[in-house]
Structure 1
């Protein structure tokens, strides 16, 4: 496959300025792209899940799967399940010609394709000739729209929902990080290798600089995202410098 290295790197960098992708999804794309480049840009790239976990530095298989699925749903990857316990195969959707990358000699079946974006399936179904169900559904939708929206439910005056206060525990040397049991459990799942380090870092930051957050669990993720964005920008600058060096 003919691929312009600069076009792809720049195209993805522009994409993440306008589309929300997690830091893990961004990091995974850059690592997969570099691996694809090293392999000579084949039509399909076979990568096992353990290697993907190493690319984003996590021991959580679900975290790696979520990052991969984000790229598939964003229309940047196609995925074909491996047969007989073989690793999955991945196909990049190049920015120069989206959704026109060449297929395998034996294209994957519908059962093998996973996490195809829902909007693509809806677009395909809506353009099938003779699809009576689709026509009936669209006609019903138009009739409902003309009739006006359904009335909103009425609520009794002076009726308020009971407030449920979630108990939170203080963590860290200075006790500045407040987390509920559920938030602590999610934090351990999100960062199985260094969740204690993140508590220690945010706790020290709040103690020394008087940071105030309405939710410390969200604040930890915000700090992590900033670190990942800084690392991504640095990696992008290094890639561009290397590309200019090879091009000169």
Structure 2
């Protein structure tokens, strides 16, 4: 049994009897998500127990069993306004358990070792997802269009803003809530958007704050998934120019 210092929210490994604690490093007014992957190499789900410091009952998330470390992530959302400390434990009665975990938000993980932490271009260039991929960016104060695409059933990714998150489910197959947990009242800050097709489109407006996108899927699913963001201001300006040119030519 080990006590793990998780203050930077980086990629760790939890085994039977281990507890990881991020002590005092969750910010008031910010939403976080704990990402858990089953790395045990067997088909047995592993429950992880989540507890904070403000007296709410522990949350329990079941991390799906898998072989060859290919499973989906289980998620647990935490509101930093309810607790500044969070712990994740694998109980001693789960022999052979092995969980990979990190904390995601607009702030975390502070330690990005083992995480593909990349700034996302917002010029219409398609970007691929890998396992443990975190894209970040600060949109300008106008509208953007985005698309997440995958030809694999049930691809899941999470978009973070300061105190809200959207879970995008592409090619929905089963109810995604089976793999999503909430500590305290964090559920009210999370929106789930689903599509029955191979892509999901969304719009967003920049407000000077950072946005973050993290995939929550397996290695094989992530390899075939992509995200693209396009500024609509460029399209608007191009249309204005074309209209002006047409008017000048007409005169």
TM range (shorter): under 0.3
TM-score by length of 2: 0.21
Q: Which has the larger radius of gyration?
A: 1
Name whichever structure is richer in strand by fraction.
Answer: 2
TM-score by length of 1: 0.21
Name whichever structure is richer in helix by fraction.
Answer: 1
